[in-house]
Structure formats: structure tokens, C-alpha cells
Amino acid sequence: MTTSLQELLAGWITGQRWFAGKGRAIDNLSIEHRTDVATGDPGLLHLILSVRQGERATRYQLLVGLRSSLPDRLKHVLIGPWDRDGREFTAYDAAHDAELTRILLEAMESSRCEEGLSFHRSPGVEIDTSLRSLVLTVEQSNTSLVYGDRYILKLFRQITSGVNPELEVVSALAAAGSTHIARPYGWIETELDDRATTLAIMQEFLANANEGWAMALTSVRDLYGSAPDVPAEDAGGDFAAEAFRLGVATAEVHRELATAFPTGVIEPPEVKRMAERLRRRLDEAVAEVPRLAPHASVAHAAYDRLADLGRTISVQRVHGDYHLGQVMRTPSDWVVLDFEGEPGQPLEERRGLDSPLRDVAGMLRSFDYAARHLLAGHPEAATLTDRADEWSARNRAAFLDGYSEGGGRINADDAVLLRALELSKAVYEVVYEARNRPTWLPIPLAAFRSPR
């Protein structure tokens, strides 16, 4: 019996790290769109699958390679044998085949369009089509290909119809001359539900950059390894100067976003409704995680102050999922990555206007995580807690100083909003850690100890 491509994919897809429906049976898998990007041997198919599990249908993107004989270097991404038009092929995940992924560069360079799949080159750039790709293995939900040391192509595995916020924001900031983004080189799109839909984005690969999270952890380790009487500013690897520069860069990106996109205000009645939404999420979190209950009054007090603010709040396009893992330090400055917004949120919400202080709150929470997550299971955690507090306070203050220096506004009323947003983020973290990493639960719970 000949196995259909759908049957092969249904058996293969559940084992992929980016598949979101693990643990649930697939009721139906269909090929919604299929494009022959390259024919012959090897061949390249671009597929958009619709996978139904219960009431939910999710779209996924695949690059499927076809070879009559599969080389050993590709056997780890085998999908299975497939009889196509009377000829036996082996199907595999072609994202790992540098011979075929070079076709994507060639298609973007020439702005090729065919069978509903379109490739675009960003304005004012040239693309080197001779480069070979390598798959990064650290991602969970997408797949990124690095071409030489020049480009990184992010393939969105789970597809939502519409223009991805990352493409929209980075293209606009590049046109405005921003120095805090990785330069865009091209993108791939199709049409789904009568909407132009982003499938992949290619940007400059920051080969000589360091991730903010890794830099912060190095600083924390240096502090923990120093003598107890050595203050954080004198310990090796002090991060405060970088935190200050990151604050400046964040403010500059917010200013650029406010120039490139529409802005607005939230009136006082809507601010009260915002506070009520935060309160409801807090109550739901307490019901799920009883350990949060003794700390809930701190958050309720912050939400009360927000509800009584009595003034408008300025809103604009923001990053939406801002933390130390989303920024890279190049030799010249900080660069901000991944403007996709909060994972799992509807596309329109991720493209909506919000207070820039939501990004500030996310980064403040990230400093707390950097300071404390190494204490989980640490034999000297009790004696290092004060050191964690010292590192976090020093770098939070430096970041806020830099944000103000860069033109970001944080007056007394703004501080009320910032505190509410930070505690709201901590509430989300409490639920996440309780579900996924219970030993990390003390990290977000520490945010409720006292007002900052």
C-alpha cells in the first residue's frame, strides 16, 4: 500500500519540537497549500498544513525535500518514503539541506513569485546567494537558518494569517535609519484568509554580538563568586554600565516606534477597566497558585492606585515581549530583536497600541530573573539572597536612569503604571513557573515583597 504524504506527515509532525499540539491526537491533517519550489532530484516542496486536534485547527509551515537517495547527513530529518507520480522518493525536512535552502536566497534576491508563494528583497540591499545555511538548534517554536555569517532567516513554523509584527516593525525602523535593529534583507509571504501572510523573515546575523541574558548571568556569577564584603560595583563583570546603555537604547527605540507608527491615549475610564482586568487575572492566579495568596494585597494596592490615577495614558507600538533574551550587544550598541509580541496572543493584539512602560516592566522583571534564577537549588541560596537583591536593584536603577537619559518619561504617575504592569507580569510568571518550573516559583513571588 502506498503511503500518502499526509499520512507520513501526521506520523512525523508530532515528534517535532515546534509542534504545539503534543500530547493530543491528530484528528485530521490536510495540505492547505502546496508549491513546487524546485522540481527534480532533489526537489523542494513548500507546504502549509492544517492540523485539527479536537475543535482547534492550527496551520504549520514545512519545507519538504525529495531525494531518490537520502545522504547520511540528512537521515536525522527523515520523514519517510513517498511514491510521487510513480517514482519513489524519500521525504525529509529540507530546512536542514543547504543545497535546497540556497534556493530561498536566490528567490528573495530576484523577488520571485509563483503559485501563491512570493519572495521579497528589502529595499536597498543585495543578497549573496552563494552562502550555505546551518540550522540553529536552540529554538522551540520556529526554525532559524544562518547563512554564513551574514543572514539569519526565521521560518515561522506555526502560521497565523496576516503580516507578522516583526516584519512590519523592523521594516519601518530600518526605513527610518534606526541603529537598534538587525537590518532586514527579505521575507517570504503567501495569502491566507484573503490576507498577506508572513512566512519567514531574513535579517542581518549579528555574528559578533553577545546576548543580554548571557552577559547578565556572567555578571551575576562573578558577584556570587566574589567575597561577601565586595560591593556589586567593585565585583568583576559589573553590568550596570551596560544596563544604563540598554535603557538609553530602549528609550530611543520607543521614540522611533512612536514616529513610525500611530499613537494614542487611554482615557481614565479605560484605565479603570485596565485595573479591573489586572485584578481579575490576579484572582485567577491566586485560585490556581495558592502560594500567591499571602502576597495578593501588594498587587491589589498597586491596581487601586492605577484605577485612581485619573489621567490619560499615552500608548503606541511597543516590543511586547521585552527581556534580556531579546537584546544583543554589538561592538557599537544594543540591538533589539523579535518584535513579534507576546507568544500565543492574537495577531491583532500583538499589533495593538500599548504603554511603552510595558516593555520597561518586562525588562525590570528580566533583571530580577537574571539575579535570582541561579539560586534555584543552590546550596548557598540563603546567604546569596542579599547579593541577588543588590545586583537586581543596582541594574534596575541603572536601566531606568538610562531610559530617562534617552528621553523615556517616568514621572510619579508613570511610576504608578509601571509598578502595576510589573506586578501584572509577575502574576503571569507565578502561574507559568507553577505549571512548568516549580523550583523557580520564589523568583516571581519575590516581586511582591515590598514596593519599589
Q: Is the dihedral of CA 427, 432, 438, 443 positive or negative?
A: negative
Contact 149, 205 (CB under 8 A): yes
Question: Cα–Cα distance between 146 and 207 in angstroms, integer?
Answer: 10
Contact 285, 430 (CB under 8 A): yes
For residue 420, the Cα-to-chain-centroid distance in whole angstroms is: 23
What average pLDDT does the structure give for the chain?
94
Topology, domain 99-204? Phosphorylase Kinase; domain 1 (3.30.200)
Element (H, E) at 31: strand 28-38
Regarding predicted confidence, which is higher, 64 or 87?
A: 64
The domain limits of the chain are 5-13+27-92, 99-204, 210-448
Model confidence over 198-230: pLDDT tens digits? 999 999 999 999 999 999 999 999 998 888 888
Question: Cα–Cα distance between 42 and 66 in angstroms, integer?
Answer: 5
- Mean pLDDT computed over 277-303: 97
> Residue 15: what are its φ and ψ, rounded to 5°?
-95, 5
Band of pLDDT at residue 452, cut at 50, 70 and 90:
low
Closest alpha carbon to 61 in 76, 50, 77: 50
Of the ranges 100-104, 232-236, 262-266, which one carries the lowest mean pLDDT score? 232-236
Q: What is the percent of the chain where pLDDT is above 70?
A: 98
Question: Cα–Cα distance between 79 and 70 in angstroms, integer?
Answer: 11
Write down the CATH number for the domain with range 210-448.
3.90.1200.10
Q: What is the pLDDT of residue 1?
A: 38
- Mean pLDDT computed over 148-159: 96
